[in-house]
Amino acid sequence: MATPPSYLVPYPQRGSVLADEELEAITEVLRSDVPLSGGVYREAFEQRFREMIGARHALSVTSGTVALSLAVALLGLRPGDELIVTPQTYKATIQPLLDYPVTVRFCDVDPLTLNADPASIEALVTERTKAILLVHYGGLPADMDRIMDIARRHGILVVEDCAHALGSRYRDRRPGALADIGCFSFHTSKNITTLGEGGMVTMHNAEHGDAWAVRLDRMRSNDSDADYVPAGLRIGDRQDAPPWMLHAGNSYTHDCVELRSSGTNATLPEPSAAVGIVQLNRLDRLVKRRRENAARITDVLRAFPFVEPVTESGDVVNAYHLYTFFLDPAVGVTRDTVVERLGQLGVQLQLRYFPLHLLPEWRARGHRFGECPAAEEVWFRRQVNVPCQPSLSDQQVNHLLEALHTVLTEVERTAG
C-alpha cells in the first residue's frame, strides 16, 4: 500500500486561529456560576453579532446546519410550493428541503463567481415559487440587488447561506442583512469558530422578522413552533400555577391553537458563546490575513493567461473563505492533472463543492446531469480550490506560490 503523501500546505483543518484570549474566556465562564447551557454570554454574543451585521435579529444555535433547518421551518412550506436553490454549495444549504413535499428547482451559477445566476433564477420563477436559497460562494457576496429585485417583484422570500461570508461586504452592507433570513456557521473550518460547532440565524425582514425571532427562539429552546391563546378553562379549575411550577411556562395558562412543528434543543453553550465574542473581536485580523494570502496567490496567477481567478468588484469585499480559480480547458491539460501535480508538490486540495443536483438523494427526486450546465462544466473541468486560511505560515504560503508557479509553468510549456 502506498504511503499517504505528507503535505507541506495542508487543507485547512481549522479556518480560524485560537489563542490565549479564548482560553481566558473559557476559564472565566467555568469559574463563574452561570448555567453552561445558555445565558449572559450567549446574549452578549448575539447582541455583538447583530450590531456587526446590521440585522434586526440574531439568534445563535448549535451549528450552521441547524441554523438552515430552522430557517427553512420559518418559511411555512406547504405541499406544492417551489423553491429555487443553488447547486454550488455544501449540501446542508438545501438538505432540510428533503423533508418537505415541495418542488426544488436548481438555478445555474455564474461561471466566474460560482454564485447563483440572477438570470437563471428569474427564468425558474413561477406562481408557486415560495423562496430562494443561495450561498455567498467562497466569501464573495452574490449579486444581491438583482436577486432581491426579482424576489420582491414576485413576492418570494430569500434565505442567504452566509457560512463563507462572515467578514465580507456588499455595497457597504454585510451578508446576513441582505435578504430575509441569513444563516451562519461557526464550524471549525469557518472564518470564526465557537469551539468547533455553532451557528447563527439573522432576520432582516421588516414584515415577518419580529415574529420569526419569537418562533425561532421557541424552537431552539425545546418549545413547539405553535400559536397559543389564554386558556378558556384552567387545568383543574386552578386560577394560578403553583409557585413550584418553575418550568410550567404557558403550559398551564394557555391553549395551543396552531402547531407548525416540534422544537429542538439547539441553544449555544456559554463557553462556545464566550469564545465567539473573542473570535468576533479578532475577525478583521483573520480576514485581513486571508485577503493578504489571496492577493499573493492572485499575483502569481495573473502571469498565466489560461487561468481566471475569482476576484471582486470595487463595491464588494471578498472574505476568501475559499480561494478559487478556473483553468481554461483549451490549454490542453486537464484540471485533474493540475490538481494531482499540486498534490505531488505538497499542496493538499479539496474541490468545493460537487454539484448538489447530482447527489444521489437529489437524483432520486428526478434531477439529472445537464440541468445546470455552467455549474457542471466548471466543477468537472475547470475549478481549482487552493488553501488560503489565516493559520498558514509565511513559509507555507511561499511554498504554495512556488508550487502554483511550477505547475502552471509546466502547463504553459505543454500548451506551447
What is the number of structural domains in the chain?
A: 3
pLDDT score for 229: 84
**SS3 string of 275-343?**
HHHHHHHHHHHHHHHHHHHHHHHHHHHCCCCCEEECCCCCCEECCCCCEEEEECHHHCCCHHHHHHHHH
Please report whether residue 337 resides in a domain. yes
Please report whether residue 99 resides in a domain. yes
DSSP-assigned beta bridge partners for residue 385: 324
Please check whether residues 214 and 301 belong to one and the same domain.
no
Please report whether residue 309 resides in a domain. yes
Please report whether residue 302 resides in a domain. yes
DSSP-assigned beta bridge partners for residue 161: 135, 183
**How many residues are given for the chain?**
416
Do residues 310 and 112 touch, judged by C-beta distance below 8 A? yes
Please check whether residues 61 and 203 belong to one and the same domain.
yes
Please check whether residues 198 and 239 belong to one and the same domain.
no
Please report whether residue 12 resides in a domain. no
Q: Which of 91, 130, 190, 288 is catalytic?
A: 190
Which residues span the domain enclosing 92?
20-221+264-271
Please report whether residue 238 resides in a domain. yes
Residue 131 has φ and ψ, to the nearest 5°, of: -155, 160
Select from 209, 236, 271 the last residue of a domain.
Answer: 271
pLDDT score for 186: 98
- Peptide bond before residue 100 is cis, with ω within 30 degrees of 0: no
Specify whether 130 is catalytic.
Answer: no
Please check whether residues 235 and 300 belong to one and the same domain.
no
Task: For residue 398, give the C-alpha cell.
Answer: 511561499
pLDDT score for 234: 53
Please check whether residues 214 and 252 belong to one and the same domain.
no
Please check whether residues 212 and 329 belong to one and the same domain.
no
Residue 203, domain CATH:
3.40.640.10
Q: How far apart are CA 315 and CA 36, in angstroms?
A: 41
Return the sign of the alpha-carbon dihedral for residues 333, 335, 341, 342. Answer: positive
The structure's pTM equals 0.94
Please check whether residues 161 and 232 belong to one and the same domain.
no
Say which residue the cell 445558555 belongs to: 38
Please report whether residue 2 resides in a domain. no
Task: For residue 346, give the C-alpha cell.
Answer: 505538497
pLDDT score for 410: 97
- The DSSP symbol for 173 reads B
Q: How far apart are CA 311 and CA 403, in angstroms?
A: 21
Task: For residue 252, give the C-alpha cell.
Answer: 398551564
pLDDT score for 1: 42
Task: For residue 241, give the C-alpha cell.
Answer: 400555577
Look at residue 287 and give its three-state secondary structure. helix
Please report whether residue 15 resides in a domain. no
Q: How far apart are CA 400 and CA 409, in angstroms?
A: 14
Residue 303, domain CATH:
3.90.1150.10
- The DSSP symbol for 235 reads G
Please check whether residues 66 and 152 belong to one and the same domain.
yes
Please check whether residues 202 and 235 belong to one and the same domain.
no
Please check whether residues 124 and 248 belong to one and the same domain.
no
The number of CA neighbours under 13 Å toward the Cβ of 85 is: 25
Run means of pLDDT, 10 residues per run, the chain, 416 residues: 69 92 98 91 98 98 98 97 98 98 98 98 98 98 98 98 98 97 98 98 94 96 88 56 56 79 93 98 98 98 97 92 97 96 96 97 98 98 97 96 98 89
Please check whether residues 201 and 315 belong to one and the same domain.
no
Please check whether residues 24 and 165 belong to one and the same domain.
yes
